[in-house]
Amino acid sequence: LNGDVICEYEFQEDGQTRLFTVPWRVKQSTNTDICVVNWTSESTGELMILSFTGSLKLVYRGQKLEKKFKPTDVVFDSHCNIIVSDTFNSKIHLLSPDGEFMKYVVTENGITYPVSMSFYKPTLWIGTYDGLVKLFQFNDK
């Protein structure tokens, strides 16, 4: 690590339209895709999936739920599935590597206001706005 910039992602392919409003979290999957939790306002956000070259593959704006989608973190399981925390709806979204919604996870365990996550082997760590860190056995078969 020498501090040299090797790439920047700022504009869509037209060279004028900005990709991000507030890129809150940035993570790279082992399949080289880049996921950006982009906050579009104080109460809304989206998950942007880019190829390593910077081309926009998909924008995930959540499911139709009671409250607006406000993602706060993103991690990946061993199959490159995307796990997104949705703070306002107290949900953890599981998406395919292509960004298609699959299901909600850890719903039966009462996660409220998830704000941070980490994934290591079969364990999903979730930090909540309530000051808790919970660990879940994550079966990603």
Does residue 89 register a pLDDT over 90? yes
Q: How does pLDDT run across 28-57, given as a tens digit for each residue?
A: 999 999 999 999 999 999 999 999 998 999
Distance between CA atoms of residues 7 and 100, nearest Å: 27
Does residue 110 register a pLDDT over 80? no
Does residue 94 register a pLDDT over 90? yes
Displacement of CA 40 from its chain's centroid (Å): 14
Query: What is the pLDDT averaged over residues 58-81?
Result: 96
The number of C-alpha atoms within 13 Å of 93 and in the hemisphere containing its C-beta is 27
Query: What is the pLDDT averaged over residues 81-103?
Result: 96
Residue 84 parent element (H or E): strand 82-86
Query: What is the pLDDT averaged over residues 1-9?
Result: 87
Mean pLDDT of the chain: 93
Does residue 3 register a pLDDT over 90? no
Q: Which domains does the chain have, with CATH numbers?
A: 22-137 (2.120.10.30)
| Confidence band, pLDDT 50/70/90 cuts, at residue 141 | low
With CA atoms as reference, report the closest residue to 111 among 141, 83, 76. 83
